[in-house]
Amino acid sequence: MIKNISNLGDAALYCDFGTEVNKEVNNKVIRYFKSIQKENIDGINNLTPSYNKLIISFDLRKKNFQNIKKSIENLNVINDDKLENNKIKIPVCCDEKFSLDIKRLEEKLKISRDKIYEKFFNKEFFCYMTGFIAGMPFLGDLETELRAKRLETPRVKVPKGSVGLTEQFANVYTFESPGGWNIIGNTPSVIFDSSKESNPNLINPGDVVTFEQITKDQYNNYNE
């Protein structure tokens, strides 16, 4: 299922699942990711699944590229139906103090904000991967009418909880961070909680996420 395995530097494997970005390809990546986690292969010290790649880092004191490559080629990959996916609802407030780029999006997409919200809320999105900053989910796919490029000049600080759109994806900024996604609202929900060591991420790869619009009052009185 992996199209090609090459080395990324001297202490990582670069597993290429193809160039396309879709659920089928990503599911294969996640199946490999979960299977390797389960096998607990000695020497592997990190895994990074993404849309269509899986990077496997290892401790060069213990193993090398050839050893780990062999382990991956002989891996027992779990079946699709064994994948567990949670369904998660994320409340979002689109008050103007949160929807920083809604005007820009109206112009870019040439549709009204109501249409944007209609096409965004209460739809199911699939979590392809998490990362960049701790816990940030990359969700897709947005309808074609909602697909816009990144900001030309990224913001130095995107507020924590911001919900952003870029191309076919949506995400949530789990920390205040620099970033260039088009921000349409903000969630009061805690997406990343480092005090929960066994499961700090609310959203994990393979999960299904639905955004629900809430009012400013509901936002201010939000209690998980």
Partner 1 sequence: MNKNYFEIKRAGINTTFQDQGRSNLYHIGIPFSGAMDNRNFQISNKLVGNETNSPVIEFAYQGPLLKYFGDNIKCAIVGDVKFIIRKNDNDIEGNCYQSFTLENGDEIDIITTNKSVYGYFAISGEFDLEYQWSSCSINTKANIGSNNGKRIEDKQKIYISKINKNLNDKKLNYINTKIEKIRVIKGTNFNYFSDEGKNIFFDKEFVVSKLSDRMGMRLDGPKIENIVDTNIKSEGLIKGVIQVPADGNPIIMLSDHGTIGGYPKIGVVISADYDKLVQLTPGSKIRFQEVELSSAETLFKLYDLETQNLISQIS
Binding site for partner 1 (CB under 8 A): 6-12, 14, 19, 21, 33, 45-55, 57, 60-61, 64-65, 129-136, 138, 174-175, 177, 192, 194, 197, 200-201, 204-205
Q: Is 183 helix (H, G, I), strand (E, B) or coil?
A: strand
Q: What percent helix, strand, coil does the chain show, rounded to 5?
A: 25, 30, 45
Report the nearest approach of partner 1 to the CB of residue 199 (Å): 9
Rank residues 52 and 99 by Cβ distance to partner 1 and give the closer one.
Answer: 52
Closest distance between partner 1 and the C-beta of residue 195, in Å? 8
* 8 A C-beta contact, residue 90 and residue 192: no
Minimum gap (Å) between residue 6 Cβ and partner 1: 7
What whole-number distance in Å separates Cα of residue 212 and Cα of residue 222? Answer: 13
Q: What count of other Cβ atoms lies within 10 Å of the Cβ of residue 32? A: 22
Query: Of 96 and 197, which has the nearer Cβ to partner 1?
Result: 197
Q: Name the minimum Å distance from CB 155 to partner 1.
A: 16
- The helix (run of H) or strand (run of E) holding residue 209 is strand 208-214
Q: Are 86 and 202 in contact (CB under 8 A)?
A: no
Nearer to partner 1, 51 or 120 (CB): 51
Q: How far is the CB of 46 from partner 1 (least distance, A)?
A: 4
Burial 33-59 (b: 16+ CB within 10 A, else e): bbbbeeeebebbeebebbbbbbebbbe
Measured from the CB atom, the residue of 40 and 223 that comes closer to partner 1 is: 40
Nearer to partner 1, 24 or 212 (CB): 24
